[in-house]
Chain A
Amino acid sequence: MRPPVGVHFDAAFGDNLDDLLALSLLYSLDNRNECRVIGMTTSKDNLESAGLYEVYQKLYGGRPTAIGMETGKVRSATGMVLKAAAEGQATTVKSVLDTAEPNGLIRNLLTANHDGNAVIICTGPTDNLRDLMKLQTARPVVAAKVRTLYLVGDEAKPVADWPTPVVTVPVPTGLSYVAKAADFGWNEKHPAAQVLALMPDAKLNRAAMAAVLQAVRGKDFVVTDAVLAELVAAKPIPRQRMRGFGV
């Protein structure tokens, strides 16, 4: 029996609230055994960004995989959202050595999946995926394992020579879902809650959340405010994981 689809999440994590909520949604779906979060990489050269991923892993009982972080001083700034989300969080990511090189990490994580049973969601710059395609050993792995690459937003930059279908998820229309800090009442230190507490009126475009639902529930799934309200801030569910899958 195949396990649920494996999802790799790549973002300039911490640059906006949408990404934080999208990852919360993804983990909610993981908790419900609808998918498996197989890995996370940030295209920011920023330890707080990488550390924040680890906070999510622990918060939702995720698989303790290494966190991938781009280096080279790209998008290294700590903006207001990241600062608020990372405030007071405990993480073991203290130096670049506590993170992994994104391209090798993504390849390795994909190798542990059944053919065609993984997707990648990239909500920000595609640097990490372009680096992945430069690895000679990565292309056949991507071709075999990745069912679809989801790029988020109206200005998503394509990845040249990507060997499997690419879906660009535009900013959805007709949605008005707004998260509130109180929604995460089950843990006031939830990174999204900390941001919302400080910036309750932070703007959302909901494209990353739509991409998560489309990747996990299929392209025909209709994203509604009710679904987002039910899942995004949902409390983690203790559950029996399917064992033997994933790194």
Chain B
Amino acid sequence: MMTRKALSRRTMLRGVGAAIALPAMDAMAPAFASSQLPGPKPVRMAFVYVPNGIDMRNWTPANEGALPAELPRILKPLEAHKKDITILSNLTHNGGRALLDGAGDHGRCCGGYLSGVQPRKSFVDIKAGVSMDQIVANAIGSQTRFPSLEVGLEDARQAGDCDSGYSCAYTNNLAWRSETQALPPILDPRALFERLFGTGAELSPEAKARQAKYRRSILDFVMGDTRKLEANLGPTDRRKLDEYLSSIRSIEQQLERAEKDNSQINPGMDKPYGVPADFAEHFKLMTDMITVAFQADLSRVVTFLVTREGTSRPYREIGIADGHHPLTHHMNKPELLEKVTQINTYHVQQFAGWIEKLKSAKEGDSNLLENSMIVYGAGLSDGNRHTHEDLPTLIAGNGGGYIKSGRRVVARRETPMSNLFLTMMDRMGVQVDHFGDATGRLAGLDLA
């Protein structure tokens, strides 16, 4: 007969003042089940936003329903996870359109992406709408240490004119706590690490001295307590704890490596991007930490602005020295289109790496991906013409068994993106009657 040892969800590993949250372990089941969650496992939600639209000819599968054996070129990196993704077509953000406000599609499409409203054209008196991630965070955020996490890889300027009179606050943020307050993304992996796992700043003078003396990682300080805890755990939980601590150690090592690498790089220009210089490494670091945050149930709501909307970042990593934004105004020139497709594919490649990681993180009988809804998409469809209908959108994961994935779901034309958001809020256990410009819930996600 097996007996389970119950640990409080709030159990922390404490070592000389440092605190690290634990992953959701089987032994926590009693405390966990008593929470107000909609299902047996918490559903997580993340938005991964890429800028400047996507080359839709190489994004959209030809058929509706079950995904074909071979995915279009940009989605090819996700082929191994075909059964875990749902591609959505025809979703529209009317608020991204000019609607008499003239130029500024980049500012509008990002500024209103998660709120379904048209941002006010201004770089002083900004106004958008409360984003859906923040509505969810407000409703369920008390169940986790961080109601939401905002992450990005590029520029986080909050002031100035970033697009034809639209504030940088619109192009550089996804999450909006209120109509006038955006939540800037954390760009620096170290800052995210410290936010999630502690800074050590609260150590006593003696502890700080010890830390300085031994130059050990934050984890080293908690190992003593970990051993004590391990003695009370079953073999499965012990393995989980070990995996969890290993993943944190791995991130820490990546950080150290990235910092060391950066110090040896001479970019020949002002340092434009944060740590690390390599895009893929930066992406991986951030998503690794989000994965741990999901595993540990530190947060269930994440927005990830891959690069700022309208960015002119070059992708020298893949041999593209031209800026992303200028390239998307390709005027259908094949050589420019090819580069846009390569950038789009490169982004999806990084995303696929994260999906793999989420999928391999076991959670009871399922895995982290199954219990998540990771939306990947853009606020523009055709970056050349700045179109706001049929926005490139896919969802990875099943939202706790709700989404029947492995398909392309085509909505009617002009279906508001806000309809998807209403449906997702339902899945997060947050019932809202009206949101943005929604006309109802998005039908078809749960149909096989």
A residues lining the B interface (CB < 8 Å): 66, 96-101, 103-105, 107-108, 111-114, 135-137, 244-245, 247
Contacts and interface: CB of A to CB of B under 8 A. Distances in A.
Contact of B99 (A66, A101, A111): A111
A135 B439 contact: yes
A242 to B, nearest CB: 13
Interface residues of B, number: 22
B412 A97 contact: yes
Contacts of A245: 100
A21 B284 CA distance: 61
B413 A112 contact: no
A103 B410 contact: no
Given A97-B90, A135-B439, A136-B434, A112 B412 contact: no
Contacts of B167: none
Contacts of B98: 112, 244
Nearest to A67: B413
B414 A114 contact: no
The winner among A111, A136, A137 for most chain B CB atoms within 10 A is: A137
Contact of B413 (A99, A137, A244): A99
B97 interface: yes
A46 to B, nearest CB: 15
Given A104-B439, A247-B97, A97 B434 contact: no
Given A136-B434, A137-B437, A111 B94 contact: yes
Contacts of A247: 97
Interface in B293-342: none
Interface string B388-427: 0100000000000000000000111111100000000000
A105 B102 contact: no
Contacts of A104: 414-416, 437, 439
B116 to A, nearest CB: 9
A108 B411 contact: no
Interface string B70-107: 00000000000000000000101010011110100000
Contacts of A113: 100
14 contacts: A97-B64, A97-B412, A98-B413, A99-B412, A99-B413, A103-B439, A107-B437, A111-B99, A112-B97, A114-B100, A136-B434, A137-B437, A244-B98, A247-B97
Contacts of A105: 413-414
The winner among B92, B102, B414, B416 for most chain A CB atoms within 10 A is: B414
B139 to A, nearest CB: 20
B414 A112 contact: no
A112 B100 contact: yes
A112 B99 contact: yes
Nearest to A115: B100
Contacts of B434: 136-137
A101 B415 contact: yes
B412 A96 contact: yes
A96 B64 CA distance: 13
A104 B414 CA distance: 8
Contacts of B437: 104, 107-108, 137
A3 to B, nearest CB: 10
Contact of A97 (B411, B416, B436): B411
A105 B411 CA distance: 14
A95 to B, nearest CB: 9
The winner among B94, B102, B389, B412 for most chain A CB atoms within 10 A is: B412
Contacts of B410: 97
Nearest to B94: A108
A154 B413 CA distance: 34
A188 B411 CA distance: 35
B438 to A, nearest CB: 8
B108 to A, nearest CB: 12
Contact of A101 (B100, B118, B412): B412
A247 B98 CA distance: 8
A66 B412 CA distance: 10
A100 B94 contact: no
Nearest to B103: A244
A247 B413 CA distance: 14
A66 B97 contact: no
